[in-house]
Amino acid sequence: MNAIQLSLFVSRLAAVCDEMAAVLRNAALSPNIRDRLDFSCAVFDADGALCAQAAHIPVHLGSMAYAMADLVARFEWADGDMVIVNDPFLGGTHLPDVTLVAPVFVPAAADAAKPVLAGFVANRAHHADIGASTPGSMPISERLEEEGVVIPPQRLVHAGIVDDGVLAEITGGTRSPDHARGDFFAQIGANRAGRARIAEPAAARGLRAFRDGLRTMNDYGERLARQTLRAIPDGRYVFEDVLDDDGKGQLDIPIRLALTIAGDSAHCDFSGTAAQVAGNVNCPLAVAAAAVFYCFRCLMPRETPACAGSLRPITLDAPAGCLVNAQRPAAVAAGNVETSSRIVDVVLGALAQAENEHWQAEIPAASHGSMNNLAIGGVLDGAPWDYYETIGGGMGAGRAGGGLSAVQTHMTNTLNTPVEVIESRFPLRVTRYAIRDGSGGAGERAGGNGLIRELQCLAPAHATLIGERRRHAPWGLEGGAAGQPGAQWHNDRPLPGKVALDLAPGDRLRIETPGGGGYGAEPEARRSE
């Protein structure tokens, strides 16, 4: 396979993920999936190793890449099957993220009577209601079971036929079973589209040629990854950052990393990180791996395939039972969104210590470091409703330029829910949506500004807010100032970063998200203005 053929092969696999995404988005009922694009699609080989992914949600994709091999090994796969799972300790991330996996079978040869497993397609979508104890399925929880319906890996589709009993059991635990059913069928449709698109070239060119293409692609991805790591000076780089709290009274929870760069390999050791906590900021090791993979993937050349080969030189280790390798029955709803964001900060903070002028220019200051989660819901005219949103903030600045304002960063890649959708679908009014001027850290390159989003309830509701960087600001680099911490209010009453509360008609919630850290010392002339 020459360079042009390899490029076409990689692009075709990525296009499969894009087509799956189009099917899922267009068929979904939920604004969370259809408008915010809180979902991801990927292709895997017959052993569960990553082959391709679309530019969707890093925390979804990296965790699937880490956990898929163990998941697919659990089953004897047959053509037309699909497996569903959301258990964070068996291949999921947190319960709202529900994954569907489908095998792809193709003829082994033109005259073969029995098809052979060629690979898998999968999609993971965030369901705003997965049956948790509070609307939006992001409660301030202490145990996994409080966070919603736990779906162990099981067949949802047999030989192309949906198991209505399994589907009814899952959707029956939600507030709107018909709505949930529609979103699951959208996920099924996306996998069917992906399966057909993978089967076509594999059957046309032959299974052996398809597997040779995967092998060539992975070897190429590994070469580019190792080339990237060789550019980092060898050494052991230690960095520590903290989470504000766990929502249950524990403050300043440390995440410690010792990053070892040795030639063309990298190892991340999280020994010394806090033990898992009572609140829901714990995360399974697959989520920690997603954050680690993301950081290094950002440093690789743009042409690096999104495949298992590009991840081979990167390893990680974390003690069982620590915050980033939590064990059942730990609550994990916020680990997926908040702790993953802090792991990114820790990895980038360690990389920034590498003493090489060219290399250090690649690393930015800390971004806003929180997905600023807002979940609201209730019952209106007898019908339950659930609204979930992650709100952007300020991006950290770097040597190449200042940070962007009012954007999602790092482990999430969603859109906002349009104001028109919020106000037409839910009893909510958006009274303010603006850039939070002055919240980015000062410096030679200023950090990006955060956002202000204020909503007014038009009906009784229950809300949950889960945010970070409310007590500890996003750090600057090379003399740049920290970004402003975030804040939130119920009417005019300040709220802690993680809180659940009841809302009456007319009540307002205002969320001010953190700014990004600045880069480089601010010039004296600018400081004196």
What pLDDT is stored for residue 486 in this prediction? 98
pLDDT at 35: 93
Pick 238 or 58 by higher pLDDT: 238
The predicted structure's pLDDT at residue 57? 80
Amino acid making up residue 224: L
Judge whether 253 and 243 are in contact, CB under 8 Å: yes
Query: What does DSSP assign to residue 89?
Result: G
Query: Six-digit token pair at 527?
Result: 């400081």
Where in the chain are the domains? 3-221, 364-529
Find where tokens 């398809």 sit.
210
> Is the predicted pLDDT of residue 111 greater than 80, yes or no?
no
> Binning pLDDT at 50, 70 and 90, where does residue 60 land?
confident
How many residues in total does the chain contain? 529
Mean confidence (pLDDT) of the chain: 93
Structure tokens at 423: 């106000």
Average the pLDDT over 213-240 and give the result.
95
Please state, in angstroms and rounded to a whole number, the distance separating the CA atoms of residues 210 and 367.
Answer: 40
* Dist CA 277 CA 139 (whole Å): 15
The pair phi, psi for residue 505, each rounded to 5°, is: -55, 135
Does the pLDDT at position 112 exceed 80? no
337, HSE (Cβ side, Cα atoms, 13 Å): 31
| pLDDT (0 to 100) of residue 529 | 54
Nearest to 233 by CA among 351, 315, 349: 351
Beta strands in 285-382 (DSSP E): 314-317, 373-380
- Choose between 60 and 450: higher pLDDT: 450
Q: Cα(296)–Cα(128) distance, rounded to whole angstroms?
A: 30
Give the residue from 364, 359, 265 showing the smallest Cα distance to 310: 265
170, 149 contact by CB (below 8 A): yes
More confident residue, 346 or 62: 346
Question: Each residue of 350-393: pLDDT tens digit?
Answer: 999 987 666 666 899 999 999 999 999 999 999 999 999 999 99
Q: pLDDT band at 337, cuts 50/70/90? A: very high
Integer angstrom CA distances of residue 281 from 65, 93, 141, 217, 343: 22, 12, 9, 36, 12
- Of 339, 320, 319, 326, which Cα lies nearest the Cα of 272? 319
Q: What local confidence, expressed as pLDDT, does residue 110 receive?
A: 58
Q: How many CB atoms lie within 10 A of CB 105?
A: 23
Nearest to 391, CA basis, from 422, 424, 345, 347: 422
CA dihedral 123, 413, 17, 290 (to 10 degrees): -60
Cα gap 394→376, rounded to integer Å? 24
Lowest mean pLDDT among 76-80, 105-109, 312-316, 467-471: 105-109
Give me the torsion for CA of 392, 509, 463, 339, rounded to 10°.
Answer: 30
* pLDDT value, residue 62: 81
| Residue from 237, 253, 130 nearest 183 by CA | 130
User: How many CB atoms lie under 10 A from the CB of residue 524?
Assistant: 7
pLDDT (average), residues 398-425: 94
Per-residue pLDDT, averaged over 267-284, amounts to: 97
pLDDT at residue 360, rounded to an integer? 60
Q: Return the half-sphere exposure (C-beta side, CA atoms, 13 A cut-off) of residue 18.
A: 7
Give the whole-angstrom CA distance, residue 255 versus residue 279.
15
Contact 25, 6 (CB under 8 A): no
Q: What is the pLDDT of residue 274?
A: 98
Q: Does residue 52 contact residue 194 with C-beta atoms inside 8 Å?
A: no
Q: What mean pLDDT is predicted for residues 102-117? A: 80
pLDDT at site 271: 97
User: Which is nearest to 310 in space by CA: 215, 216, 222?
Assistant: 222
The burial class, CB within 10 Å (0-12 / 13-18 / 19+), for 73 is exposed
Residues 6+ apart with CB under 8 A from 279: 140, 141, 142, 245, 246, 247, 248, 250, 331, 334, 498
Please give the average per-residue pLDDT across 36-57, as a whole number: 90
Within a 10 A sphere around the Cβ of 529, how many other Cβ atoms? 4
| Cβ count near 72 (within 10 Å) | 24
Tell which residue, 49, 26, 34, has the closest CA to residue 122: 49
Residue identified by tokens 């700014």 is 515
Q: Quick check: helix, strand or coil at residue 433? A: strand
The pLDDT value recorded for residue 109 is 65
**CB neighbours of residue 187 within 10 Å:** 29
Tens digits of per-residue pLDDT, 150-187?
999 999 999 999 999 999 999 999 999 999 999 999 99
Asked if 235 and 251 count as a contact pair (C-beta separation under 8 A), the reply is no
Residue 33 to residues 5, 40, 132, 192, 237, Cα–Cα distance (Å): 34, 10, 18, 18, 39
pLDDT tens-digit map of 229-275? 999 999 999 999 999 999 999 999 999 999 999 999 999 999 999 99
